[in-house]
Amino acid sequence: MLRLFANLRGAMAERIHRDGALGPSGFLLLSRLAEAPRRGSELSGLLGLDQSTVSRQVKGLCEAGLVGRAADPEDGRAYRIALTDKGRDLLRDERLRRLHVVAEALEPLSPAQRTELASLLDTINATLEDRGGRIGSDERV
């Protein structure tokens, strides 16, 4: 599994370098903002990143016109960050590019193998979700 993740990360990184695609942090931020506008502190908690890291990322996304900031209606001292139309379009395109990378990797599999893989991945995801995304150190993967 670790080898698979490393290979996928490498394929994505190669695309980012070649095509100027959205990097992992920007993709995660835009994905969370597609769900709903959020405060920086909320993004920080959702992504498990330091507030200063999120602030730097948001600043770059703002400068690129992908997100905008507006006063939080619940607390005028705070800001909510939201996707712009440009950000929403870029996120949609990026999701399609990422799906294409995965689809290319699955091409050698037969339909039966793809079905089996989907079932196995569902089981792994359900296990992780049931445990809150954590596997204990005393358990084997």
Question: What average pLDDT does the segment 32-46 reach?
Answer: 92
Reported as a single tens digit per residue, the pLDDT across 66-102 is 999 988 888 878 889 999 999 999 999 889 988 988 9
What are the boundaries of each domain within the chain?
A: 2-130
Count the Cβ atoms, other than its own, within 10 Å of residue 90.
21
Residue 135, pLDDT > 60, answer: no
Residues of the chain by 3-state class (helix, strand, coil), percent to 5: 65, 10, 25
Architecture of domain 2-130 in CATH? Orthogonal Bundle (1.10)
